[in-house]
Structure 1
């Protein structure tokens, strides 16, 4: 499946362009179904996009935001995606949106995944918008090469929901939506910046081994064609 490339001259222009696209998709979802769902990723890349989106004028009270994946750390941690979203997206006009976290302060990541699966069951069938990132190793969401549950996470027969993942490159144990919960989002976006990430994407597009580069599952098997938003 060919990904549609949307290239911008600067990160600022990318953030604004992607924010406009996502806001329009959320507005369309609200008009069609009375509510909208948005799953976002963490990392340093989306901050400017989050801030641009947070100021878009739409009925945010009808939008529910959750995370594509999360580290098993509390929202006070600097490594928490929950914290990133709370500080940069759930603000300005978007302060009226609902936010459903994946992390829960329970004994194990497995316990947190079970709670998150229950709490998000009505959000991901399918998501209106899902924004993915990608690492230099070709991981997306918490689908890491060598991940403890990678095959299960990428199997479309795995029920929609949140599972745990551990991997050498992941740091903390992770919580991640399954590929089955993400692949048919009505708008499915890969948001990346820099020539290095563009080269990683090019390599992924030339191969098929998903265990080596899990982003290939999205490129090759997602029900919704992937839209790539990139700037140098």
Structure 2
């Protein structure tokens, strides 16, 4: 697929027969990009998303034979809940990604327990800024409402977090469809990644993405901000 309006990045599509095939192929792609970064700079950075979709991908990636002790992992977004909470993305990454060979990787959480969401976002922003930026790899998901990261429709800070000139790396956001208050990487940190992947599964999400890549008012959903401003082609991995 190709963007339809000026300034929007091209996309590269990879479709798979099922989620298991996708997970292995995406794990190979991400591991290769991380290994290349380690070879060039001696370190690599990876930001991943939560939800149920990436579990198989996380498990596959955790077994890839790269120098995980030179990789630092963080989250694209997080709920304002502690790591022990069942809805925590930190917990998800710990259970499925930071295992096997990848147990040697470093991890930078977004959530801390001190302060309100805005305070926690500022602390997280400083932690992200201390990493080796830009990220070598960012893996995004997408909801059926067209949100990605925690860029939710009608989000309290949606205009700010999707501003290409946003100066803060992490911000807090609340939205009707988000459940808990959220912490999210802002658009500049996401779109500057060396490898930017959108991992989606299911026909419904494929249809939503097709709308986002099209023209007209129905295309104006949050994921479109990423598609429009990405510095490299967004690699789309999809399975039924």
TM-score in same-fold range (> 0.5): yes
SS at match of 1:120: helix
Deviation at 1:125, TM superposition (A): 2.5
User: 1:210–1:217: 8 Å Cα contact kept in structure 2?
Assistant: no
Match runs of 1:31-50 below 5 Å: 31-50=39-58
- Which residue number corresponds to residue 169 of structure 1? 177
Alpha-carbon distance in structure 1 between the residues aligned to 2:96 and 2:173 = 26
Question: Is it true that 1:205 corresponds to 2:213 in the alignment?
Answer: yes
- Which residue number corresponds to residue 25 of structure 2? 17
- Which residue number corresponds to residue 95 of structure 1? 103
User: 1:36–1:62: 8 Å Cα contact kept in structure 2?
Assistant: yes
| TM-score computed with the length of structure 1 as normaliser | 0.97
Moved over 2 A (4+): 122-125, 207-212
Q: Say what the alpha-carbon RMSD is for the aligned residues.
A: 1.4
Aligned residues: 232
Alpha-carbon distance in structure 1 between the residues aligned to 2:232 and 2:38 = 20
| TM-score computed with the length of structure 2 as normaliser | 0.94
Alpha-carbon distance in structure 1 between the residues aligned to 2:239 and 2:219 = 27
Alpha-carbon distance in structure 2 between the residues aligned to 1:210 and 1:103 = 33
User: 1:124–1:182: 8 Å Cα contact kept in structure 2?
Assistant: no
SS at match of 2:155: coil
Q: 2:142 aligns with which of 105, 113, 134?
A: 134
Q: Which runs of 5+ in 2 are unaligned?
A: 1-8
Deviation at 1:198, TM superposition (A): 0.4
User: 1:208–1:216: 8 Å Cα contact kept in structure 2?
Assistant: no
Question: Is it true that 1:83 corresponds to 2:91 in the alignment?
Answer: yes
Deviation at 1:209, TM superposition (A): 5.5
User: 2:146–2:208: 8 Å Cα contact kept in structure 1?
Assistant: yes
Match runs of 1:110-129 below 5 Å: 110-123=118-131, 125-129=133-137
Alpha-carbon distance in structure 1 between the residues aligned to 2:198 and 2:132 = 18
Deviation at 1:219, TM superposition (A): 1.2
